[in-house]
Amino acid sequence: MIDSEFGDAEHPMNFLLTEEVYLPNAGEIRTGRIVDFRNNEILVDIGAKSEGVIPSQETVGYDSATRALLKEGEDILVFIANPEDNNGNIILSYRRAAEEQDWQLASDLLESQEAIETEIVGFNKGGVLVSVGQLRGFVPNSQLRRDRLSESDGDGRQRSYQSLVGQPMLAKVIEVDRPRNRLILSEQAASREIRQARKSELFSSLEEGAVFEGQVVNLADFGAFVDIGGVEGLVHLSEMSWKRIQKPSDMVQKGDLVKVQVLSVDQDRQRVALSMKRLEADPWSRIEDLYRVGQLVEAEITRLTKFGAFARVNDDYQLEGLIHISELAEDRVEQARDIVKPGDKVTVRIIRLDSKQRQVGLSLRQVASDKFIEEDLALMSS
């Protein structure tokens, strides 16, 4: 037997028999290295028998940021669009690979419910378009923050949309449907999460006695709700003013800015009690400087009880005092309504001041009493 001309040496083509050759599959994503640029095509080594090609039909659509990323020698992810075209080329797509990654990102975001920072890139009559990597997500009108758009419709609404293009947005993925190319996001969901985070942070730092400027966000029969920066607290009707008021709207309106003091914080129930009147001087702390026993004052009857009538003094402090049924008239009175009714304007005499009990005693019967005649005459002559 005649020896081969190579003798015992390894045949130079043996590697074709021993080396495993990578055979790409359509739809696969693989890491490759850029080896050359040719006529707007990009040649990429993906470890196959030949280099793959990103065709010019795709590359001409790249923006400047994408072009800056694609340099010779760089490793990139590519999508196998066609393992072998009519010319035997492996057709690749950088954009499809990025899109597939972005769909996976969108799915991960949907599962984790983590908010993503994005940008408004377009709009239609139903909402705005945002970028999620190479993908375009849709934020319907119902999922936009309420302050994003004006209340106008038609052309006014379109102008509002136009002004949003280019603005950043924090949003959450709420629907991913890859087969239908459907990606829906919500700005409201992300905003709620931010508000809740701020609320929790503020709650943990709230202390009794702290003073805030807040906005009245709602009124109820029993008080006003005030937003102090992400947390809504209640100013009870009794804490709105030292004056006696009938309803919150006597003091404030929705949207008003007010100063409030924290009275108490219930961490477990996430409730805050606020006060407006504690930031004003308490007239009861200097009641004896403001009024004196025997003084005549103008007042208005506010309510009747079985033991008398309450009257509110007509001055800056509007303190409310009791006219006991025995002080309504000289003669015996069976019911207060026999003498006065709510809304009556009367002149009354102060007959008792008790700052500790926060009580004022008033009298109709003693308005013309001889007991105070000298004091009344002195006051008239002064």
| CA nearest neighbour of 125 among 141, 136, 145 | 141
| CA nearest neighbour of 112 among 180, 188, 189, 177 | 189
Query: With 50 as the cut, is the pLDDT of residue 2 above it?
Result: no
Query: With 90 as the cut, is the pLDDT of residue 357 above it?
Result: no
For residue 124, give both structure tokens: 């239609």
Establish if 201 belongs to a structural domain.
Answer: no
Establish if 353 belongs to a structural domain.
Answer: yes
Q: What is the spatial distance between Cα 61 and Cα 67, in angstroms, rounded to a whole number?
A: 10
The sign of the dihedral angle between the CA atoms of 292, 293, 299, 305 is positive
CB neighbour class for 247 (10 Å; exposed up to 12, middle 13-18, buried from 19): middle
Q: What is the spatial distance between Cα 71 and Cα 76, in angstroms, rounded to a whole number?
A: 10
For residue 91, give both structure tokens: 């057709």
Last residue of one domain, picked from the residues 252, 279, 306: 279
- Mean pLDDT for 61-70 is 84
- Mean pLDDT for 321-331 is 93
Q: pLDDT (tens digit, 9 = 90+) per residue, 93-112?
A: 888 888 888 998 999 999 99
Q: What is the CATH number of the domain that holds 350?
A: 2.40.50.140
| CA nearest neighbour of 172 among 144, 146, 147, 210 | 144
- Phi then psi for 145, rounded to 5 degrees? -60, 145
Residue 183 contacts residue 140 (beta carbons within 8 Å): no
Establish if 199 belongs to a structural domain.
Answer: no
Same domain assignment for residues 295 and 368: yes
Q: What is the spatial distance between Cα 97 and Cα 79, in angstroms, rounded to a whole number?
A: 5
pLDDT range class, residue 20, cuts 50, 70, 90: low
The predicted pLDDT at position 356 comes to 86
Cβ neighbours of residue 370 under 8 Å, at least 6 residues apart? none
Q: What is the spatial distance between Cα 139 and Cα 129, in angstroms, rounded to a whole number?
A: 6
Establish if 183 belongs to a structural domain.
Answer: yes
Establish if 5 belongs to a structural domain.
Answer: no
3-state class (DSSP) for residue 283: helix
Q: What is the mean pLDDT of the chain?
A: 85
Query: With 60 as the cut, is the pLDDT of residue 18 above it?
Result: no
Same domain assignment for residues 296 and 263: no
Same domain assignment for residues 124 and 86: no
Considering only residues 184 and 87, tell me which one the structure prediction assigns the higher pLDDT: 184
Q: pLDDT (tens digit, 9 = 90+) per residue, 159-209?
A: 677 888 889 999 999 999 988 999 999 998 888 877 777 777 777 788 889
Residue 342 contacts residue 303 (beta carbons within 8 Å): yes
Last residue of one domain, picked from the residues 192, 225, 253: 192
Number of domains in the chain: 4
Same domain assignment for residues 271 and 291: no
Write out the residue range of the structural domain in which residue 26 sits. 17-98
Cβ neighbours of residue 244 under 8 Å, at least 6 residues apart? 302, 312, 318, 320
Q: What is the spatial distance between Cα 380 and Cα 369, in angstroms, rounded to a whole number?
A: 15
Establish if 3 belongs to a structural domain.
Answer: no
pLDDT range class, residue 381, cuts 50, 70, 90: low
Considering only residues 148 and 248, tell me which one the structure prediction assigns the higher pLDDT: 248
Cβ-based neighbour number of residue 364 at 10 Å: 22
Same domain assignment for residues 307 and 351: yes
Q: What is the spatial distance between Cα 351 and Cα 348, in angstroms, rounded to a whole number?
A: 9
Same domain assignment for residues 287 and 376: yes
Same domain assignment for residues 374 and 298: yes
Same domain assignment for residues 292 and 374: yes
Last residue of one domain, picked from the residues 192, 222, 245: 192
pLDDT range class, residue 316, cuts 50, 70, 90: confident
Q: pLDDT (tens digit, 9 = 90+) per residue, 107-160?
A: 999 999 888 899 999 988 888 999 998 889 999 988 998 777 654 455 556 667
Q: pLDDT (tens digit, 9 = 90+) per residue, 261-293?
A: 999 988 888 889 999 999 988 888 888 888 888
